[in-house]
Amino acid sequence: MSKPLLRIPYTDLPLPSVIAPASASTLPGAIAALHRFFVAPSPSDLPASAVVLTGAGLSVASGLADYRGVKGTYKVNKTYRPIYYPEFLKKLHGYLRAVVCTSCKNEFSRYEFQEKLATLNPKWAELLERALKSGALDTEDPVERRFKGLKVNPDGDVDLPDAPYTTFRYPSCPKCLSSPPKNADGHQHVVQVDTDGAWKLPSTAGILKPAVVMFGESIDNHIKHTAEEAIDNAGKLLVVGTSLATYSAWRLVKRAQDRGMPIAIISMGGIRGEDKFFAGMDPNQEGEQGVRVALSTDDLLPALLSALRNDVAPSEAPTQASLQASFGNRGVFKDMLS
């Protein structure tokens, strides 16, 4: 069996952000510039629609840990290296919509997968139920979490002494279990489960993983082409919460630039090649040609959405009262992302 292709992400530290327009350094100014970006007509030869490219930074507002440091800067850690594809398969870090089989490539419901995980790992299911009831998952404070019965190790893994990770069980791919696929040598894989339905050795296939592209894993051609079509069928590009460290993300922004699409970027910290994305832009433009903002998305996006819904003109900067009302309505994230 051939080894998975390993792609090393962009490793240079990005240059400091250059805010554009200059007024976008404040929250009201950023909202006004982004409003201008969206309401201004696209270049005459491009569609009126906009496409959005999001990265891991967008998830920070939902409570997931930020993999970068303070204000979006990368932490300097000489011993750091990313978790690559073969290692990630051994972990159960999440993705909310579906799981995919690494052998047959079929996708299955994440909800059904979680139900089977709970059945196969009752001690962990009980821990989760207690944590939900105590409110331990409603806080990021490790001391408060521990007080509410959820102990977390320094690496972020939950500690449950009487249920070590080595005993954690997970279900097999149902399709591979009923009809084991052939490997690269033409021999049929072995797929077995125990009496409870948990995947077991000597199985060589039928492993389920989150339906997301991992570090070191190549992007399927149909995903690549779909992303390119999304760029080609839009007239503007909004980039949110990504440093564009991966080439697959950077090349989409470069594709948009080559098509003459106005680009707006919301991300804390530097971004790969951002100086080239905004080169030659009129310094007096107010957002119609492009926007670069380095503010927190959980502050900016709800307020921006409220401004767009209310059709606040760029010259009418939102009042402090309206901004505070937007901050209190974080549920708008659901509307924006659904």
Please state the residue numbers annotated as binding site: 101, 104, 173, 176
Q: Could you give the 3-state DSSP secondary structure of residue 171?
A: strand
Whether 203 contacts 192, CB under 8 Å: yes
Round the CA-based radius of gyration of the chain to a whole number and report it: 23
Q: Report the binding-site residues for Zn(2+).
A: 101, 104, 173, 176
User: How far apart (Å, rounded) are the C-alpha atoms in residues 247 and 214?
Assistant: 13
Q: Alpha helices of the chain — where are they, by DSSP H?
A: 27-39, 85-88, 110-120, 122-134, 142-147, 174-178, 221-232, 247-258, 274-277, 297-310, 320-327, 332-337
Q: How would you write 13-27 as a 3-class SS string?
A: CCCCCCCECHHHHCH
How far does the chain reach from its first CA to its final CA, in angstroms? 39
- Which one of 93, 187, 189, 222 is the catalytic residue? 93
Q: Could you give the 3-state DSSP secondary structure of residue 210?
A: strand
Angle of the 122-134 helix axis to the 110-120 helix axis, nearest 10: 110
Whether 323 contacts 63, CB under 8 Å: no
Catalytic-residue membership of 35: no
Question: Hey, which residues are catalytic here?
Answer: 93
